[in-house]
Structure 1
Amino acid sequence: MFPVTSATEMAGQDEENEISIAVAEGKLAGEDGVWELLAKRLRDIPGYFEFFAAAYPENVETQSDITFVMAANAIAAFEISAWQALNSPFDQQLRGEDAMSEAALRGMALFNDKGCAICHAGPLQTDNLFHAIAMPQIGPGLGDNREGFSDGLEDFGRERVSGNSADRFKFRTPSLRNIELTAPYGHSGAYTTLESIVNHYNNPVLSLMTYDHSQAILPSRTDLDEIDFTVMNSPARTGSIAQAALREPLLRPANMSASEVSDIVEFLKALTDPNSLDLSENIPGSVPSGLPISD
């Protein structure tokens, strides 16, 4: 329910529309809140009433019964149905099939031996916890002008939510399913290939200090380049990020050889579900609002 309340995701900015105005005024719930305003939009489109009535036959009898909670749950149900990725070579191997290459099997063993599986654990290959991993920061973040960073560009990570300074520069462990398809990598998109992100763990702090920003996939603009790279990679910032990583008990240099990195990359590729390679069938031909569909 929250992406629709974010100015940087879906709501719009400043006084762009009624939703962005509600966000600026801090109104999420209630009669004039973001969720109610969006629910009203849905209620006013007859085609959506028919869909909601079919999806919630016990709850929706009239247009006024439609809520944004229903919309959020419907979206979640669609995502679970359409975008689960549970048939990768890795999954097939776990089911007893001979589906992974020898290199991928070596990589899986290394993934465990090097400690990667401690954080990237379970069926989704994530512990859903927050860790400081010395990830280079590119692009402005959400520092809120705190503790010496007067320009407000620093991305403080988990601390911005928890308010605990011990959480600074900690970010949630991502799932590795379909990781081959989801470049760039790192919370800031600092690394563009699987090889480069795996190599980061060879020596995370050294990787941070020697980061080559030419690999970043960002549109170039002189004034923004200064912020994205020069300012964000100043010694004060990288030093603070490095110190947080050095306090992370699970983060240690992996010291992998080139062949070991290659094998781990093959294992990561084995987490790709072939059904995820082409999801174009999930694009509807039209929507009840009549708004155009982007390919």
Structure 2
Amino acid sequence: MLVRSKILVAIAVFAVALSCSREKTESGETYLEVPRHFPSVPFPEDNAYSDIRFELGKKLFFDPMLSIDSTISCGSCHKAEFAMADAFAISPGVEGRLGHRNAPSLLNVAYQPYFMTEGGLPTLEMQVLAPVQEHTEMDFNIVLIAERMKTSNSYVEMSQEAYGREPDPFVITRALANYERTFISGSSRYDTYQFYGNSGALSPSEKRGLSLFRSEKTQCSVCHSGLFFTSYEFENNGLDSVYSDIGRMRLTGDSADEALFKIPSLRNVEYSAPYMHDGRFATLEEVVEHYNSGGANHPHKSERVRPLNLTQQERIDLVAFLKSLSDPSVQMDERYRVK
């Protein structure tokens, strides 16, 4: 039975892989692969996709020269094996300084309507500046990064080919955003089941978990809705009665936004442990148990977060379904790894 199960999984993943399309550009072969059931990637007019922009962005993404002491790169906290997140509760920055929150997954970041946990940045190009300047992350200046790039013939040549100009903040932010928009993940067994009619792609337990996920009993799918399993809204899920992190209020200054956080996608959630904005939960079982308990009382806690009274089997089924959202192809994809 174990061998048969592995064969079915391989067939399911292969079926979704076949459903991916390549968006052609004038540069010929492209690195951009989009599942057929996904919308086209929304590249802005001043940063349309091209292979050279991808290659420049990838080179920058994994280059530690983006940090003040040349020890930390974007790829230090966003790794393919962890769904473009990492395995730390709070990621260390330069000199081992701890940041403020758990590093989020960057998969399917191209489709987000706004960025950061508070939702304060409207474009991916603008988001690039945040970790570069943040004291507990890279603690550097993007103008000085450009000066470092100018000492490299490779960077100068790539910048000219990609954007028709020498390395500067425009090139850095556009190239990184161009690369990050290719972090597309939609080849899970759930996708094979839901969009390509393969009823055998999910186990009986996973199917029960899917039904439970969509049920009135749990209402999981209200917040974790749509193709990307998130409404992108801001909610409080009852982690604490008093929060040291004020959440969206950090951006707005409005007390009504205290302890509200942007709802994350559940795609590839199996790979991106630990969980919550502070990484307090090590396993999906702990996450499900939190919601089953109803959480702590807080004035802004969502009314949907309440005791669920799930049976042990229901908790097992829910975790099983969440793992069916995993896309193992991402972990092996050379586009998202250093060679």
Q: What TM-score, normalized by structure 1, do the two folds share?
A: 0.65
**Aligned residues with identical type, % of pairs:** 33
Contact 1:104–1:263 (CA under 8 A) maintained in structure 2: yes
Q: 1:179 aligns with which of 258, 269, 274?
A: 269
Deviation digits for residues 137-156 of structure 1 (CA, Å, limit 9, x no counterpart): 9xxxxxxxxxxx9xxx9111
Q: 1:44 aligns with which of 148, 151, 156?
A: 151
The amino acid that maps onto 1:171 is F
Q: 1:103 aligns with which of 205, 229, 243?
A: 205
Offset, 1:136: 4.6
Contact 1:135–1:204 (CA under 8 A) maintained in structure 2: no
Matched, 1:273 2:327: yes
Bigger radius of gyration among the two = 1
Q: 2:170 aligns with which of 40, 56, 69?
A: 69
Contact 2:240–2:298 (CA under 8 A) maintained in structure 1: no
Deviation digits for residues 155-205 of structure 1 (CA, Å, limit 9, x no counterpart): 111111110111111111111111000001111111111011011111233
Deviation digits for residues 200-248 of structure 1 (CA, Å, limit 9, x no counterpart): 111233xx4xxxxxxxxxxxxxxxxxxxxxxxxxxxxxxxxx22354x2
Q: Partners in 1 of 2:337 and 2:261 — Cα distance? A: 31
Q: How many residues align?
A: 207
- Residue 316 of structure 2 is matched in structure 1 by 262
1:166 is paired with a residue of what secondary structure? helix
1:126 is paired with a residue of what secondary structure? coil
- Residue 145 of structure 1 is matched in structure 2 by none
Contact 1:88–1:273 (CA under 8 A) maintained in structure 2: yes
Matched, 1:250 2:309: no
Q: Give unmatched runs, 5+ long, in structure 1.
A: 12-18, 20-33, 138-148, 209-241, 286-295
- Residue 87 of structure 2 is matched in structure 1 by none
The amino acid that maps onto 1:177 is R
1:277 is paired with a residue of what secondary structure? helix
Q: Alpha carbons of 1:157 and 1:102: their partners in 2 closer, same or farther (altered >3 Å)? A: same
Offset, 1:8: 1.2
Matched, 1:5 2:133: yes
Backbone CA RMSD of aligned residues: 2.1
1:202 is paired with a residue of what secondary structure? helix
Q: Partners in 2 of 1:40 and 1:118 — Cα distance? A: 47
1:86 is paired with a residue of what secondary structure? coil
The amino acid that maps onto 1:275 is S
Q: 2:293 aligns with which of 188, 203, 223?
A: 203
The amino acid that maps onto 1:53 is Q
The amino acid that maps onto 1:265 is V
- Residue 189 of structure 2 is matched in structure 1 by 89
The amino acid that maps onto 1:86 is G
Q: Partners in 1 of 2:291 and 2:252 — Cα distance? A: 26
Q: Alpha carbons of 1:256 and 1:175: their partners in 2 closer, same or farther (altered >3 Å)? A: same
Matched, 1:283 2:337: yes
Contact 2:235–2:262 (CA under 8 A) maintained in structure 1: yes
Q: What TM-score, normalized by structure 2, do the two folds share?
A: 0.57
Q: Alpha carbons of 1:245 and 1:192: their partners in 2 closer, same or farther (altered >3 Å)? A: farther
- Residue 230 of structure 2 is matched in structure 1 by 126
Deviation digits for residues 110-131 of structure 1 (CA, Å, limit 9, x no counterpart): 0010200111011111111111
Q: Partners in 2 of 1:55 and 1:96 — Cα distance? A: 41
Offset, 1:280: 6.0
Deviation digits for residues 236-267 of structure 1 (CA, Å, limit 9, x no counterpart): xxxxxx22354x23323222111111111111
Offset, 1:42: 1.7
